[in-house]
Amino acid sequence: MKKILSLAAIVLFCYSISAQISHGGKPYSFTNDGLKSDIEHRKIAPPDVERLIMEDLVNESKSVPYRIGVLLEAKINPDNSGTWDELNNGYKLWRIHLSSDGAQALNLYFDDFFLPQGAKLFVYSTDKNQVIGSFTEFNNHESRLFATQYITGNEIIVELYLPLNATNYTLNISDIGYAYRETGNIYETKDISCMVNVKCPEGNNWQNQKQGVARTKIVIGSYQYMCSGSLANNTNDNCAPYFLSAQHCFDDATATNFNQMIFYFNYEASTCAGTIGPQTQTVIGAQLKASSPTFTSFNGTNSDMSLLLLNNNVPQTYNPYFSGWSRATTASPSGVGIHHPDGNIKKISTYTSTLTNYYTTHWQVIWASTVTNHSVTYVGSSGSPIFNNNGLIVGTLSTGASACDNLTGPDQYGKFSFHWQSNGTTTNRQLKPWLDPVGSNPTTLQGTSYATCDSSQSIEYNKSGKNQFDMIEIHPNPTSDIATIKFNFKQNESSQIYVYDLMGKMVMKAESNMMSDEFTISAKELKAGLYNIVVFNNNEIYTRKLSVIR
């Protein structure tokens, strides 16, 4: 049984629906009167920050991830906490005020997260100057795990806008992330004044590569840590969101930790002299695909590598770049490193002398003075890429001695050539099976962006992380007339089908018969280009791309 999908309403969204973390909008309470003014205020006891700082002074180095915060147990949900309002439009509103003295910033971790259609979740500062959300059913994941980015300060408000009769939702805040040093360290006299912003002249020739570098935040045990890393291209050239970093950044991390991991893209200053940058372009969740054995010391058998696959594609609006790489064993004569030292805005460090071998597993680099300053690396730079003179990744930062008071101290980067297949014989120890899916075994691969990658073959995921090629087929694709969507999942209820352009604008919407395993859409009224097909069925989200030609 088939139906024809015709042109329908247009709705503007902030990001591409298949990858966004935050859907925009404004909390209901900001523009509506008559709500309860006295909402529950839950105060969470702060940690012993002085003890944490003393531990950091003893343990901190580039060979361990940069600790920035601690988890505070919460166990808060709409059934046991907060304040409810019933609204005139048939919805209801739940709010709670959370605080913890002394925090530089707070964020939330959910161990049971599922929102029904129509629900909207926001988190914001008490002065309403910082707002994240809305989070909706698009943020549901098979793991039922979720996390939010930081809100600066020691107080936040959580607000849930919910259909009145909704019962199939869960929202359990298991922990609150308490940042005692979000970016920079106000408790120590560290000097990172020599660092060069990537927006300075030194970064002029590296504007593509910087778009792939991101700051990472992950919980391991009871603590929050930051490192750096980069998107990396693969031989399918399809913008699959592989992310390369260092193994020591994620030692002892669990699948839950990876599913709640946060990636901050484009966290950089807008000028060479800038000191702040936006922290809103984030992606949540990843799967660990490959890593070297636990890195404890240099012994010639371990290059300190981790490769992740993000749970969602990076939104095209982030302008991501999937960097190319070289597994050549010839040392690069010059290049740069791009990183987030001390969890800070994105920096660039330059080398002008040839890399040297440090054991068989690592490259060693001495950073050079440049027109702006003599940038180096720092704690938090771990996992960041070092590029050769052709703009290709040749290593990832393990450790080193460079600092603003030790400008010529050497740093060591795990060799990409060793990462390739020398950390072990199984696929979970090598880059090759993941970054060379076509089996061409190239020595080098150029980088790509959404503008140049073969996105018609891109990997798409539903919330359970399943490859969408197994769940949805579209034929013909490309098309200039009609295309048939074949559903390869068991349908026990109707499916809702949406079509979005790559700016996030919905251009088609319809509902299929629950007994049908095929659905035909008409592309006659669509302009040439790529579109996201989004299918909702039985609380699952399935996505694929459709190419329309003229």
Contacts of 297 (CB under 8 A, 6+ apart): none
Domain with 103, as residue range(s), is 35-179
Assess whether pLDDT exceeds 90 at residue 79.
yes
Assess whether pLDDT exceeds 90 at residue 232.
yes
Q: HEC states along 55-114?
A: HHHHHCCCCCCEEEEEEEEEEECCCCCCEEEECCCCEEEEEEEEECCCCCEEEEEEEEEE
Only one residue has tokens 């050079």, namely 368
What total of structural domains would you count in the chain? 3
Higher per-residue pLDDT: 544 or 83: 83
Alpha-carbon torsion, ordered 64, 70, 76, 77, to 10 deg:
-30
Final residue belonging to a domain, choices 416, 449, 482: 449
Helix (H) or strand (E) holding 531: strand 529-537
Mean pLDDT computed over 261-281: 94
Band (233; pLDDT cuts 50, 70, 90): very high
342/432 same-domain check: yes
In a domain, 334, yes or no: yes
Mean pLDDT computed over 521-548: 78
Least Cα distance to 161 among 74, 31, 279 occurs for 31
Question: Tell me, what CATH number does 349's domain have?
Answer: 2.40.10.10
In a domain, 25, yes or no: no
168/238 same-domain check: no
Final residue belonging to a domain, choices 148, 179, 210: 179
| Spatial contact of 161 and 93, defined as CB atoms under 8 Å apart | yes
Q: HEC states along 218-276?
A: EEECCEEEEEEEEEECCCCCCCCCEEEECHHHCCCCCHHHHHCCEEEECCCCCCCCCCC
Please give the angle made by the CA atoms of 120, 126 and 130, to the nearest 5 degrees.
65
Least Cα distance to 445 among 327, 331, 324, 328 occurs for 324
In a domain, 29, yes or no: no
Mean pLDDT computed over 55-79: 91
Band (183; pLDDT cuts 50, 70, 90): low
In a domain, 98, yes or no: yes
Band (528; pLDDT cuts 50, 70, 90): confident
Model pLDDT for residues 445-490, shown as the tens digit of each residue: 999 998 887 655 555 554 444 444 456 788 887 788 888 888 776 6
Q: What is the pLDDT of residue 104?
A: 93
534/442 same-domain check: no
211/354 same-domain check: yes
Contacts of 425 (CB under 8 A, 6+ apart): none
Q: What is the pLDDT of residue 8?
A: 32
Q: Rounded distance, CA 212 to CA 233, Å?
A: 10
Q: Rounded distance, CA 334 to CA 286, Å?
A: 32
Pairing of strands 393-400, 411-415: antiparallel
| Spatial contact of 264 and 281, defined as CB atoms under 8 Å apart | yes
Contacts of 521 (CB under 8 A, 6+ apart): 4, 5, 482, 483, 484, 485, 497, 499, 508, 510, 533, 546
Worst-scoring range by mean pLDDT, 47-56, 175-184, 478-487, 492-501? 492-501
Band (210; pLDDT cuts 50, 70, 90): very high
Q: Rounded distance, CA 108 to CA 160, Å?
A: 14
Q: What is the pLDDT of residue 16?
A: 36
245/213 same-domain check: yes
Band (187; pLDDT cuts 50, 70, 90): very low
Final residue belonging to a domain, choices 405, 423, 449: 449
Mapping DSSP to helix (H, G, I), strand (E, B) and coil, where does residue 15 land?
Answer: coil
Q: What is the pLDDT of residue 20?
A: 47
In a domain, 224, yes or no: yes
Q: Rounded distance, CA 219 to CA 380, Å?
A: 14
What average pLDDT does the chain have? 87
Model pLDDT for residues 161-170, shown as the tens digit of each residue: 998 888 889 9
Model pLDDT for residues 99-157, shown as the tens digit of each residue: 999 999 999 999 999 998 889 999 999 999 999 999 988 888 888 999 999 999 999 99
Reading the block at residue 25, the tokens are 């909008």
Assess whether pLDDT exceeds 90 at residue 510.
no
Least Cα distance to 229 among 395, 90, 86 occurs for 395
Q: Rounded distance, CA 446 to CA 391, Å?
A: 9
Composition of the chain by helix, strand, coil, percent to 5: 10, 40, 50
Q: Is the dihedral of CA 29, 35, 37, 39 positive or negative?
A: negative
Question: Tell me, what CATH number does 532's domain have?
Answer: 2.60.40.3080
Model pLDDT for residues 337-379, shown as the tens digit of each residue: 999 998 899 999 999 999 999 999 999 999 999 999 999 999 9
Worst-scoring range by mean pLDDT, 211-220, 344-353, 520-529? 520-529
Q: What is the pLDDT of residue 303?
A: 98
Q: What is the pLDDT of residue 483?
A: 87
Mean pLDDT computed over 275-288: 92
Band (504; pLDDT cuts 50, 70, 90): low
284/410 same-domain check: yes
pTM for this model (two decimals): 0.80
Question: Tell me, what CATH number does 130's domain have?
Answer: 2.60.120
Mean pLDDT computed over 291-305: 93
Mean pLDDT computed over 238-251: 95
Pairing of strands 385-387, 321-322: unpaired
Q: Rounded distance, CA 539 to CA 140, Å?
A: 9
